[in-house]
């Protein structure tokens, strides 16, 4: 599955909870891609591996892994486990981007990934070069330093696109809390700049959104790989709404419900 500026946007789901059964069921809903979060999710290597298997079992065509750091061993393990794409956090410079791209590809493509197709599947092709051609490498733009080098980062060989992290980016721009209203004009300007820079190069412009409505708006702005929801947030919202329907009728006491829903 290719994702470029010239194609229709792709919409995905974000996974942080350790439940391969739940991941498989989410994959069956029809998302274009799913991101298994190794940075902020409550998932270790084994749980990441099982989640990637579940994404494939559920029929989602594009399993991504967000690694916890720009580290070659971590990137290689996630690709071996079944990720078709890698999202690398906190990439600040073109050199950081170069290292990420190199870690995701084999020596035959100028990289340093070690070859060992233990888990065979669609993520492994006949030759290392063919496997490399199917790997998507995205680096996150979430700091002022990355914004200053966005052109150089996107021009780095082996980088297929960028993925905006609005929460960290807003903090980097001076917000006291994520997405604070006072920094929104500067944040939106930065987000537009990233999207336009990717589009000029026909590279992937990705962004995290927490709702489908927000995702639609980002698609209209030109983003091509857009998250729509977060598993834990959706779980809390959905189940909390059902409990609220009971509480509103005075049929049960949920003393912490209002406070919890407000906090999240």
Cβ 154 vs Cβ 193: under 8 Å:
no
Judged by DSSP in three states, 65 sits in strand
CA 209 to chain centre: 10
**Residue 264, Cβ density class (10 Å: 0-12 exposed, 13-18 middle, ≥19 buried):** exposed
d(CA 145, CA 148): 5
Catalytic residue list: 40
User: Measured on CA atoms in the order 260, 168, 191, 198, is the torsion positive or negative?
Assistant: negative
**Residue 208, Cβ density class (10 Å: 0-12 exposed, 13-18 middle, ≥19 buried):** buried
What DSSP assignment string belongs to 33-60? EEEEETTTSS--HHHHHHHHHHHHHTT-
Closest to 162 (Cα-Cα) out of 211, 101, 204, 131: 204
d(CA 5, CA 64): 19
Q: Are strands 85-88 and 136-141 parallel, antiparallel or unpaired?
A: parallel
């Amino acid at each position: 599955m290719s994702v470029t500026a010239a194609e229709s946007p792709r919409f995905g789901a974000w996974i942080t909870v350790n439940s391969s059964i739940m991941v498989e069921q989410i994959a069956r809903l029809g998302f274009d891609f799913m991101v298994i979060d190794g940075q902020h999710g409550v998932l270790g290597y084994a749980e990441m591996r099982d989640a990637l298997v579940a994404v494939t079992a559920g029929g989602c065509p594009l399993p991504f892994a967000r690694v916890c750091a720009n580290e070659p061993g971590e990137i290689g393990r996630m690709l071996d486990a079944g990720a078709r794409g890698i999202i690398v956090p906190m990439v600040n410079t073109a050199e950081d981007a170069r290292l990420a791209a190199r870690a995701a590809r084999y020596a035959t493509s100028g990289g340093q990934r070690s070859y060992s197709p233990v888990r065979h599947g669609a993520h492994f092709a006949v030759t290392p070069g063919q496997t490399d051609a199917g790997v998507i490498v995205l680096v996150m733009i979430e700091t002022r330093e990355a914004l200053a080098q966005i052109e150089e980062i996107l021009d780095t060989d082996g980088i297929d696109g960028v993925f905006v992290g609005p929460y960290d980016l807003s903090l980097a721009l001076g917000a006291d809390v994520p997405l604070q209203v006072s920094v929104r004009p500067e944040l939106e300007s930065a987000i537009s700049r990233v999207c336009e820079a990717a589009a000029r190069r026909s590279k992937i412009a990705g962004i995290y959104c927490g709702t489908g409505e927000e995702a639609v708006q980002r698609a209209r702005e030109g983003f091509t790989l857009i998250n729509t929801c977060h598993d834990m947030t959706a779980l809390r919202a959905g189940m909390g709404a059902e409990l609220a329907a009971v509480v509103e009728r005075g049929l049960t006491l949920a003393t912490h419900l209002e406070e919890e829903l407000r906090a999240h």
